[in-house]
Amino acid sequence: MIVAVVPAYNEEKNIEKVLKELDEIKIDAIVVDDGSEDRTSEKVKNFKPKNIKIFLIRNNKNLGKAKALELGTKEALRLGYKYIAYIDGDYQLKPRDILKLYKLLKEREADAVFGVRKFDNIPFPRKITNFLANLLVSFAILVHTKRFYFLRDVQCGLRLIKADLLKDIYFGKDYSVEHIVAIQLIKKGAKILEEEIDVEYHEDAVSYLNSKKVLDVIKEVLNFIF
């Protein structure tokens, strides 16, 4: 019923933790190894699940997060899953929180639930970029849909969405994917809820979102709406 699409780039230290927790909560996984230069794919292949199915997509080169999520989503749709969860392969966000999102989605009859990271655990520079990203998307939604809609943490990588809503979605480029997808879901009239989730910034997780990529995200969102 639910499958987790897990983009991973050089996550040999973390991917097993993600898969282990998904196995514990019995949610299948589609791991998209986006051209890793380490043993990420090997770790996935060698993992022995007890309760779930694991599918591996291996890109020969790094195509970016948006393409990784697009490939994973297409595979999830092909396999016939009803709900698609998205969670990064660095184990900063916890797979167990997918169950919280699913519970809220069913109780409130929503189309999607987006995770909201507890801001006490977020480094200050990220709080600033998150706030600016939220404002940017609110502006984009207003322009694109003529409605005001404020998302509290649009850059959060943990989401649960009804699969049917993703069949004709454009995923954008690289790290603009969360922003672009959110705008389109709201344009479709999807009922989106938000739920607080845990986040852990640990030393084995590497951030690839630098200032240049933040500017690229802004440019991509503006190009999408104009």
pTM, whole model, 2 decimals? 0.90
Identify the DSSP state of 96. Answer: T
Longest dimension (CA), the chain: 49
Q: Where are the domains of the chain?
A: 2-225
SS3 42: helix
CB < 8 Å & 24+ apart, contacts of 181-187: 182/114, 182/137, 182/141, 182/151, 182/154, 183/137, 183/140, 183/141, 183/144, 183/145, 183/221, 183/224, 183/225, 185/111, 185/112, 185/161, 186/141, 186/144, 186/145, 186/147, 186/149, 187/144, 187/145
Write the class of the CATH domain 2-225: alpha beta
Q: Which amino acid is at 210?
A: N
How far is residue 160's CA from residue 119's CA, in Å, rounded to a whole number?
20
* pLDDT of the chain, 226 residues: tens digit per residue: 999 999 999 999 999 999 999 999 999 999 999 999 999 999 999 999 999 999 999 999 999 999 999 999 999 999 999 999 999 999 999 999 999 999 999 999 999 999 999 877 667 777 787 788 778 888 888 887 777 888 889 889 999 999 999 999 999 988 889 999 999 999 999 999 999 999 988 665 555 555 566 777 777 877 887 7
